[in-house]
Amino acid sequence: MTQETIAQIMQDIFRDIFDQPSLVITRETSAKDIEDWDSLSHVNIVVAAEKAFKVTFALGELKSLNNVGDMYDLIQKKLSHA
């Protein structure tokens, strides 16, 4: 799966979770960039990504994520090892 495809799926997840149809995320987007991004929405993002990509994240992996791009990279890494 390409980074572009991962980005599009994640874009849809973010729009759904934050209920903002026009929300645009980039690789650099982080929690400080989205007003409603709190711990609960973070969990919802992780769960939605796990379902969408059929992967499982370890707690240690999630702690190392600094922005959306890090999540894209982690998803792509997991998909390439599946």
Specify whether the CB–CB gap between 27 and 72 falls below 8 A: yes
Q: Tell me the whole-structure pTM to 2 decimals.
A: 0.93
Domains defined along the chain, listed by start = 3-80 (1.10.1200.10)
pLDDT, position 68: 96
pLDDT, position 81: 84
pLDDT in tens, the chain (82 residues): 999 999 999 999 999 999 999 999 999 999 999 999 999 999 999 999 999 999 999 989 998 899 999 999 999 999 998 7
